[in-house]
Structures are given as structure tokens and as C-alpha cells.
């Protein structure tokens, strides 16, 4: 839990500095976070490549894990549909569009803003950032109570990049390949599903 609080405090500090403009604005114009992400992925790659025994797990992988992205999609949809009954000024399709971002907040919020306006776009941005943050914070807890696949489904489309390191840390290196597989499939389905629910 100590690790999660440290992570959250970094996010909160950034949020406050952003609100009060306590940083040079140009930082946001350059895609610095993208380069940091590349550095992160390079480092994660090193940690995998440095331990050749991790590759052996790929062949031992259970074929049933092919259905993992399907579990993510169905589980998310059912959860979001349940909430849509309580949100009176949002239609079920609106809620499904937001949910179908699966944590891919940049792309889903841009698409939803385009089709449905800035308000739902903002909700999509916040909801999908929250999904990512929830996964980062609660990954150890998810593994303990719902098994090692839980943080992968929770991470949705982010399990190949931003939540990948935390999944490898909590579920173990054995699940690195499953995590990449899930992120890869979800990244492709997000634009299709979001557009589909926006057009409903």
C-alpha cells in the first residue's frame, strides 16, 4: 500500500502544479510523456530480456487465456450498464461508449468529444484515467482476492504500456505475455467499439 500512496502523491502533486500553473507551459507541448513511456518500455524490455526463463512461460501458457480480452469487454459492459440505470441524464449507449475506452483515455475521449460533445468527452477522459489509476493503485489487492488475471482485465487497453509494469510486479513475469496480448487486442478494438456506441 505504501507504493500506491507514493504513486498517488506523484499524481496529486502534478495535478496541483497543473492547476496553479507552477510549471513552464511548454512542457505539455512537447510529447515528453511519450518519450518517458518509451524509456519505460525499454527498461521493462530489459527486465524481461535479462531473465531468459520468462520466455519459457510463453509455451506453457494456457490456451484458455485467449478469452481474456473477451472477459474484459463483457465484464466492463455489464458493470457500466448497471451504472447507466442510475445516471438519468446519460443514455446506456453513452455509458457504453465511455466504458469501451477500457482505460485508453486519450483516444476514447477524443473520439467521444468528436461524436458526442465535450461534456461526455470529459467524462470519458476522467473515467478512463480513473480506470488506469484504479488499476495502478489496487493491482496488489485485485491479485489477492480475484487472482492474477484481475489486474490485466482491470487495466483494459493499457496493459501493454502504462499498467504493464505494475502487472508484471504484482501478477509476476509469467503473465507479461498475457498482459501484452490483452493490451494489443484491446488497443485495436477501442476505436471500433467507441465509434459504434457513439453512433447508436
Grid cell for residue 9: 502523491
Beta carbons of 69 and 185 less than 8 angstroms apart: yes
Among 11, 114, 144, 200, binds other proteins (CB under 8 A): 11
State yes or no: residue 200 binds other proteins (CB under 8 A): no
Alpha helices in the chain (DSSP H): 2-19, 26-29, 32-49, 53-59, 68-84, 92-99, 105-116, 118-146, 150-155, 164-170, 176-198
Residue nearer to other proteins on the CB measure, 154 or 194: 154
Distance CA 39, CA 180 (A): 17
Burial class (CB in 10 A: 0-12, 13-18, 19+), 155: buried
Among 5, 58, 114, 130, binds other proteins (CB under 8 A): 130
For residue 175, the minimal CB distance to other proteins (Å) is 11
Residue nearer to other proteins on the CB measure, 51 or 199: 51
State yes or no: residue 44 binds other proteins (CB under 8 A): yes
For residue 71, the minimal CB distance to other proteins (Å) is 4
Among 152, 185, 190, 198, binds other proteins (CB under 8 A): 152
Distance CA 120, CA 154 (A): 22
Among 92, 110, 134, 177, binds other proteins (CB under 8 A): 134
State yes or no: residue 170 binds other proteins (CB under 8 A): no
State yes or no: residue 43 binds other proteins (CB under 8 A): yes
Amino acid at each position: 500500500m505504501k507504493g500506491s500512496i507514493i504513486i498517488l502523491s506523484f499524481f496529486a502533486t502534478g495535478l496541483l502544479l497543473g492547476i496553479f500553473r507552477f510549471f513552464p507551459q511548454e512542457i505539455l507541448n512537447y510529447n515528453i510523456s511519450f518519450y518517458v513511456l518509451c524509456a519505460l518500455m525499454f527498461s521493462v524490455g530489459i527486465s524481461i530480456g535479462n531473465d531468459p526463463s520468462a520466455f519459457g512461460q510463453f509455451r506453457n501458457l494456457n490456451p484458455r487465456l485467449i478469452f481474456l480480452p473477451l472477459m474484459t469487454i463483457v465484464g466492463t459492459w455489464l458493470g457500466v450498464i448497471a451504472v447507466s440505470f442510475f445516471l438519468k441524464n446519460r443514455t446506456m449507449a453513452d455509458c457504453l461508449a465511455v466504458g469501451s475506452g477500457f482505460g485508453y483515455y486519450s483516444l476514447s475521449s477524443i473520439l467521444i468529444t468528436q461524436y458526442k460533445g465535450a461534456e461526455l468527452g470529459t467524462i470519458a477522459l476522467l473515467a478512463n484515467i480513473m480506470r488506469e489509476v484504479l488499476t495502478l493503485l489496487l493491482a496488489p489487492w485485485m491479485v489477492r482476492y480475484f487472482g492474477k488475471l484481475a489486474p490485466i482485465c482491470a487495466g483494459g487497453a493499457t496493459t501493454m504500456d502504462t499498467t504493464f509494469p505494475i502487472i508484471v510486479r504484482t501478477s509476476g513475469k509469467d503473465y507479461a505475455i498475457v498482459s501484452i496480448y490483452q493490451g494489443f487486442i484491446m488497443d485495436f478494438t477501442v476505436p471500433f467499439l467507441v465509434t459504434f456506441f457513439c453512433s447508436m
